[in-house]
Structure 1
Amino acid sequence: MIRTTITGITISLALAGCSSNPAGENVRGAFYREAGSLIDTGHFGNATMHNTQIMNGDKQFVYDLSQRFASEVMTTVNFAFNSSVLDAGAIDTLREQAHWIRQFPEVRFKVYGHTDKVGGNSYNKALGLRRARTVVNYLVSQGIDGSRLEAVVSFGETQPLIVTEGKERRNRRTVTEVSGFVDGHQTVMDGKYAEVIYREYVRSAEPVTGLTGVASSNLEVDSGIDGGE
């Protein structure tokens, strides 16, 4: 009786093993597959990579630089309708971008091209790409190594700032963003970069407000009064 029960349990377990798994594949057939193939969705290792970047500071440093770049420099350049030509305002902005970028030789950037919604999507995507390439070419002309401009990307009309079907200059733009580091960025610490680090160190000691000057003036007045007495 006990032997019969054990046999029945064994058969039940065997049938359960032949049933489909959550991935929709028969487990018996999966026996001959490479270990782990059923659970790897193509993102295996991403969590480890993310944690490594957090621990060695790369990810946080990229985020911090992105925030700093966006706060210290105009990141957006605008264009005339159906044009990829830089006007005087765009050139001024890109000169500021180039000056900032030259200070951080280990950092890479992406330039994203956008358009308004007038015209076909495929045409606008090509137009956005031309605008992004125009910006990249100008940055290169300002002494930026082209290999540091990681990619030229066009979103076309898909990401408008102002939702409208008509002409809108604010939608006709490129946006420059920090994207990561050059290969071997740890070895880019040359003399010029050391100068930047030293300048930032000195600047960090400067007072945030001009109250020091006010205090000095008051001190001089007080000293004069004391001398008079």
Structure 2
Amino acid sequence: MGQMIKYAALIGLSLTAAACEYEAGEPLDRSVFGNATNSNAAVMAGERDFAIQLATRFAEEVPTTITFAFDSAQLDGNARAVLDQQAHWIRQFPEVRFRVFGHTDAVGSASYNKSLGLRRARAAVNYLVSRGISRSRLQAVVSFGETQPLIPTSDRERRNRRTVTEVSGFLKRHPTVLDGKYAQVIYREYIESAVPRTSLTSERSIKTTLE
């Protein structure tokens, strides 16, 4: 019994020490508490661009970059597979626009590489269009040529021969979330998340059977 009391006392002292790390009235550790609320407040106050939030999410959920063979704007199998993933993500967000940036390595003249980067960007855009994405949502294609290498080198470097797809904004730009565009995205996903996975699986099975 005495040992149990001693053990309980030690636990109590540990908890008290942990609780006393912060003085009464000291602000909460914002790295742990209130992140969601702070983010929502920032969006509603116009302090954070919701397009940037979606851009971050896009970059986290799908590969944004494809690469090319030397002096080529042809899409290989890996590039098409990545663009298929991008197209799937883009179809889920009909309110959002995207931009494709083309890049090259440093081999060749600056003017030629500018043109080559543009051809690569157009190749990516054309493929996305072929996968059902409206061209009006692919806001522009831009070529940086050889000016923004991932790997600083004057030699051939595949990682520099690339296109990058990014979120560029909503179909109708508006300075605040009150335009409803971002709200529509969140609401749609909220509704879909409430459907049990088993129900979705059953619906797909029924649909497949009927087809």
TM-score (norm 1): 0.59
Q: Distance in 2 between matches of 1:147 and 1:74?
A: 22
Contact 2:170–2:181 (CA under 8 A) maintained in structure 1: no
SS in 1 for 2:126: helix
Residue 179 of structure 1 and its aligned partner are, at CA, apart by 0.6
Which residue, 191, 194, 202 being the options, matches 1:198?
191
Q: Distance in 2 between matches of 1:188 and 1:143?
A: 21
User: In 2 relative to 1, CA 59–109 (structure 1 residues): closer, same or farther, beyond 3 Å?
Assistant: farther
**One-letter amino acid of the counterpart of residue 160, structure 2:** N
SS in 1 for 2:139: strand
Give the structure 1 partner of residue 118 of structure 2.
129
Which residue, 56, 61, 67 being the options, matches 2:50?
61
User: In 2 relative to 1, CA 135–72 (structure 1 residues): closer, same or farther, beyond 3 Å?
Assistant: same
Residue 60 of structure 1 and its aligned partner are, at CA, apart by 2.6
Residue 57 of structure 1 and its aligned partner are, at CA, apart by 4.9
Give the structure 2 partner of residue 139 of structure 1.
128
Residue 61 of structure 1 and its aligned partner are, at CA, apart by 1.3
Which residue, 154, 164, 176 being the options, matches 1:175?
164
Percent identity, aligned pairs only, is: 60
SS in 1 for 2:100: strand
Total equivalences in the alignment? 150
User: In 2 relative to 1, CA 201–163 (structure 1 residues): closer, same or farther, beyond 3 Å?
Assistant: farther
Deviations 1:90-125 (A, max 9, x none): 000000000000000000011000000000000000
Q: Distance in 1 between matches of 2:132 and 2:45?
A: 30
RMSD value, Cα: 2.7
Give the structure 2 partner of residue 215 of structure 1.
none
1:79 and 2:68 are equivalent in the alignment: yes
Give the structure 2 partner of residue 159 of structure 1.
148
**One-letter amino acid of the counterpart of residue 161, structure 1:** L
User: In 2 relative to 1, CA 170–184 (structure 1 residues): closer, same or farther, beyond 3 Å?
Assistant: closer
Contact 1:103–1:193 (CA under 8 A) maintained in structure 2: no
User: In 2 relative to 1, CA 78–150 (structure 1 residues): closer, same or farther, beyond 3 Å?
Assistant: same
Contact 1:115–1:172 (CA under 8 A) maintained in structure 2: yes
User: In 2 relative to 1, CA 160–135 (structure 1 residues): closer, same or farther, beyond 3 Å?
Assistant: same
Q: Distance in 1 between matches of 2:43 and 2:126?
A: 33
Q: Distance in 2 between matches of 1:81 and 1:158?
A: 17
Flag the structure with larger Rg: 1
Contact 2:150–2:160 (CA under 8 A) maintained in structure 1: yes
SS in 2 for 1:136: helix
User: In 2 relative to 1, CA 200–61 (structure 1 residues): closer, same or farther, beyond 3 Å?
Assistant: farther
Q: Distance in 2 between matches of 1:193 and 1:137?
A: 29
User: In 2 relative to 1, CA 151–115 (structure 1 residues): closer, same or farther, beyond 3 Å?
Assistant: same
Structure 2, gaps ≥5 residues long = 1-41, 197-211
Shifted more, 56-65 versus 104-113: the winner is 56-65
Q: Distance in 1 between matches of 2:103 and 2:109?
A: 13
TM-score (norm 2): 0.64
Which residue, 90, 93, 99 being the options, matches 2:79?
90
